[in-house]
Structure 1
Amino acid sequence: MPKPLIVDIPHDLGQAEAKRRLVEGTEQARAMLHKSGITIDQLGWSGDRLDFGVSAVAQKVAGTIDVGPESVRLEVKLPFLLALFAEKIQKVASKEGNLLLTKK
């Protein structure tokens, strides 16, 4: 089993604002992913942790997003086939996370 993909994204928004942006961002992502044929199987907040699961093309991905006061940590368990693309997925997740958490 491949190691989980982990992305830590620093921010200076404070925990509450970072979580608010992630809540809004996940709703936008849900609509975008649905149009792309990706199904969200699970999406639920428990405190400052988001547990999620998505599936597409017979591949299932599960992960968590933990919102901290100075960083957000994404941890995703990739199936073997997707683990081959872990570096690219990590770059995209980091870029999109930074855009979402940059002060506006």
Structure 2
Amino acid sequence: MSKPVVVTIPHELGRAEARRRIDEGAGNLTSQIGAVGELKKAWQGDVLHFSLQAIGQTVSGTIAVMDREVRLEVRLPGIFAMIANKVKGRLREQGQILLEGPKRK
């Protein structure tokens, strides 16, 4: 059974720019869960549906782009459920970088 990981990331880019950045950077986000192989993705309106292989398991999810936030939902197969919190933190961090740029120190 899969365990969903949901991350909501606020942004001030507007829907079109956020969608452009997500489309270009989806591979970076999904690499945070140790994925290998081809990323399959398809847009339906402002929702990106994706799937990929990671350690012989299929990871899938959606990225919904809204005017002021992005909602990322990743369905992790059983083997990944035990690291869901770690994955969630990495996805949030990489998503913020993608939508805001690196944090300034």
TM-score range, shorter chain: 0.7 to 0.9
State the TM-score, normalized to the length of structure 2: 0.83
Identity, % of aligned pairs?
A: 41
Specify the alignment match of 1:85 in structure 2.
Answer: 83
1:19 aligns with 2:19: yes
Q: Could you list the runs of 4 or more consecutive aligned residues of structure 1 that deviate by over 4 angstroms after TM superposition? A: none
Provide the TM-score with structure 1 as the length reference: 0.84
Q: Give the structure 2 partner of residue 53 of structure 1.
A: 51
Given the alignment of the two structures, is residue 6 of structure 1 paired with residue 6 of structure 2, yes or no?
A: yes
Residue-pair matches, total:
99
User: Residue 45 and residue 71 in structure 1: after superposition, are their counterparts in 2 closer, same or farther (change >3 A)?
Assistant: same
Partner deviation per Cα, 1:60-91 (whole Å, 9 max, x = no partner):
10100000001000011111110110001000
1:70 counterpart = 2:64: no
| Aligned-pair CA distance for 1:2 | 4.8
The SS at the match of 2:18 is helix
RMSD of equivalent CA atoms: 2.2
Unpaired stretches in structure 1, ≥5 consecutive residues: none
